[in-house]
């Protein structure tokens, strides 16, 4: 196996990240939600632990979406024909993204519900 330079590995990883952001429609929605969550974190002056929970949820969603993209690409590489196992692989990967997104929403509710109630109600 050919030994790659470290900077080439980082360039490859960055290319993969950019591919996921450009090719997946939902990544745009995730970016908007992440920007809103970070903005609300600063607006409501959440503490460090809560901010880390928000950031962790954001990265968890991004990672799940990127794994989903990788699984879909690998399945499509293997076959373009309908196969029940291909459908299972894609559906399970999409389900993982859904779980990550629900988790992020729960984190947002826990972190922001108190400050929103205190400020506006």
Residues assigned a catalytic role: 65
Of 57, 58, 65, the C-alpha closest to 32 is 58
For the chain, count helices (H), then strands (E).
4, 0
What is the C-alpha R_g of the chain?
Answer: 18
Q: Determine the Cα–Cα distance for residues 99 and 94; give it in Å rounded to an integer.
A: 9
CB proximity list for 101: less than 8 A, separation 6 or greater: 30, 61, 64
């Amino acid at each position: 196996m050919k030994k790659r330079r470290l900077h080439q590995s980082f360039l490859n990883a960055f290319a993969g990240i950019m591919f996921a952001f450009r090719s997946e429609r939902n990544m745009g929605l995730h970016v908007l939600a992440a920007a809103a969550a970070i903005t609300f974190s600063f607006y409501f002056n959440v503490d460090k632990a809560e901010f880390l929970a928000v950031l962790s949820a954001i990265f968890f969603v991004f990672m799940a979406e990127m794994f989903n993209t990788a699984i879909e690409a690998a399945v499509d590489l293997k076959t373009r024909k309908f196969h029940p196992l291909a459908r299972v692989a894609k559906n399970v990967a999409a389900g993982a993204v859904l779980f990550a997104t629900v988790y992020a929403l729960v984190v947002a509710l826990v972190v922001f519900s108190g400050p929103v109630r205190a400020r506006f109600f």
